[in-house]
Amino acid sequence: MYKLVIEGGHKLEGEVYISGAKNAALPIMAASLLIEDDVIINNVPNLEDVKTLSQLLERLGKKVEFSDKRMVIRTVSEENVEAPYEITKKIRASIAVLGPLLAKRKKAKVSFPGGCAIGPRPVDLHIKGMRILGASVRVEHGYIIAEAQKLTGGLVNMLGTNGTSVVATENVMMAATLAEGTTVIDNAAMEPEVVDLANFLIKCGAKIKGHGTNTIVVEGVKNLKGCEYEIIPDRIEAGTFILAGMMTNGEVLVKNCEPNHLTEPIRVFSEMGASIQILSKDTVLVKGRERYEPVNVTTLPYPYFPTDLQAQLMAVLTKARGISIITEKIFQNRFMHAYEMNRLGADITIDGNSAIIKGVDKLYGAPVMASDLRGGAGLIIALLGAEGVGELLRVYHVDRGYEKIEDKLSKLGAKIKREKTDLI
Ligand code: EPZ
């Protein structure tokens, strides 16, 4: 096991280059199951989740070659249709192979997904979507088993008890590309990563309209051809580094990002008092300050404030000049990092799905533990802004979604290093 040892109090200054979006790369990799030809994907981030999904694709008869952000996926066989538990338990996004396998191989046997302990991760919308497209779907011994000799287009309402679903929208959209007839996805997720997947599929010959709105229309085609595609930048990584720059009262040039995907976060950060300048179509300059104004934020589906930046924002608000309230509307248990931040001297009270954050003057370094990917990123930001040395345990959570985070932070002047630990 590894931990990150961080000495807080150092300003972050300089340039950071944002990697390709994890949550675009994963569904696009899964979509390669729809295509027999070679698929080339560029700007792929080198993450644990990408490695895990590559293993799954190899189990499913693909040959995956990945080096220096370029991934080539070739088809060896289309026999196997089973995504086994020992792989899917590591990554929630493994559920995204359900739609492509069903559409291309007429059958899919996918173990219930694992993923972060950020709340129940139901898959009812995925199952409902496959059934509407004509599949028979049953759940047996922890596996979703879906079969259909032929998929036919239908009307899928993606509104669940908790709003829409990003990967369920992606799953239905992928399956619909090879269904007979037209599929309409109502209340579709509008995240940029859904749009990126749609653009990839269109480049492979799919007929998709309305991606990026809440109504996506897919006209089925006979088959899809191979293509070469470049993944969008990771808006959550970019937001994470902007908040790290803010926390340390630094000055950070965030390059290779897509500012248009960060409109609402940038509005919030500016309201807090940070100086955020969009210098060009792929560059943002953030200038921090000693103390920030408190804000009230609710996490909602895109284009509102993303749940995946909630922990990182909370870290900065722990030292704001007043009381802030963050309301988490997407996941039911996504405040575990708050208790760890309190160990650093923060004053956060959890009340249902709201976190009340009373700004304090200082945080102090101490050992804290990551419980999930973005919570771990939030704790790194808190430690960067704390006095003295602290450490983050269970760094493997962070490695799932951030490429060489300590290297990128060190280049900005952070005092951070990765060390082995017996503590799990
Ligand atoms: C995607 O997860 C992202 N992961 C998550 O990022 C992100 O937090 C989430 O969307 C919300 O933006 C990927 O894209 C790989 P959901 P996903 O289905 O699709 C409920 C990260 O840190 N729901 O949009 O799994 C669910 O319980 C990860 O990179 C159902 O009710 O999330 C939740 O309350 C964490 N039924 C809400 O929808 C379903 O069938 C949103 O979940 C599916 C979901």
Q: Annotate 157-225 with three-state secondary structure.
A: ECCECCECCHHHHHHHHHHHCCCECEEEEECCCCCHHHHHHHHHHHHCCCEEECECECEEEEECCCCCC
For residue 117, how far is its CA from the centre of ligand 1 (angstroms)? 12
Which of 19, 22, 23 has most ligand 1 atoms within 8 Å of its beta carbon, as the pocket-test mutant?
23
Instruction: Tell me the pLDDT tens digit for each residue of 367-391.
Output: 999 999 999 999 999 999 999 999 9
Joined tokens for residue 22: 């994890």
Segment 118-142 shows an average pLDDT of 92
Residue 77, Cβ density class (10 Å: 0-12 exposed, 13-18 middle, ≥19 buried): exposed
The pLDDT assigned to 66 comes to: 98
Choose the catalytic residue: 116, 204, 227, 257. Answer: 116
CA angle 173, 179, 181 (to 5 degrees): 105
Segment 57-75 shows an average pLDDT of 98
Which atom number of ligand 1 is nearest to the Cα of residue 302?
12
Report which residue type is found at 123: V
Segment 186-192 shows an average pLDDT of 98
Which atom number of ligand 1 is nearest to the Cα of residue 23?
14
| Ligand 1, atom 30, residue with closest C-alpha | 122
Give the separation between CA 325 and CA 4, rounded to whole angstroms: 29
> Looking at the whole model, is its pTM more than 0.75?
yes
Which atom number of ligand 1 is nearest to the Cα of residue 49?
15
Protein residues whose CB sits closer than 6 Å to any atom of ligand 1: 22-23, 26, 92-93, 116, 120, 122-126, 160-163, 165-168, 193, 307-308, 330-331, 373-374, 401
Give the separation between CA 285 and CA 239, rounded to whole angstroms: 12
Instruction: Tell me the pLDDT tens digit for each residue of 45-62.
Output: 999 999 999 999 999 999
Which of 330, 337, 405 has most ligand 1 atoms within 8 Å of its beta carbon, as the pocket-test mutant?
330
| Ligand 1, atom 21, residue with closest C-alpha | 308
The pLDDT assigned to 376 comes to: 98
Tell me: pLDDT of 116 over 60. Answer: no
Q: Which residue has the tokens 């004509």?
A: 134
Fill in the DSSP letter of residue 344. Answer: T
Which of 95, 167, 400 has most ligand 1 atoms within 8 Å of its beta carbon, as the pocket-test mutant?
167
| Ligand 1, atom 20, residue with closest C-alpha | 162
**Residue 379 backbone dihedrals phi, psi, to 5 degrees:** -70, -35
**Residue 61 backbone dihedrals phi, psi, to 5 degrees:** 90, 15
Tell me: pLDDT of 88 over 80. Answer: yes
What is the bridge-based pairing of β-strands 182-186 and 107-111? Answer: unpaired
Question: Is 257 among the catalytic positions?
Answer: no
| 121 three-class SS | coil
For residue 114, name the pLDDT band (cuts at 50, 70, 90): low
Instruction: Tell me the pLDDT tens digit for each residue of 326-380.
Output: 999 999 889 999 999 999 999 999 999 999 999 999 999 999 999 999 999 999 9
Instruction: Tell me the pLDDT tens digit for each residue of 200-239.
Output: 999 999 999 999 999 999 999 999 999 999 999 999 999 9
Give the separation between CA 383 and CA 392, rounded to whole angstroms: 8
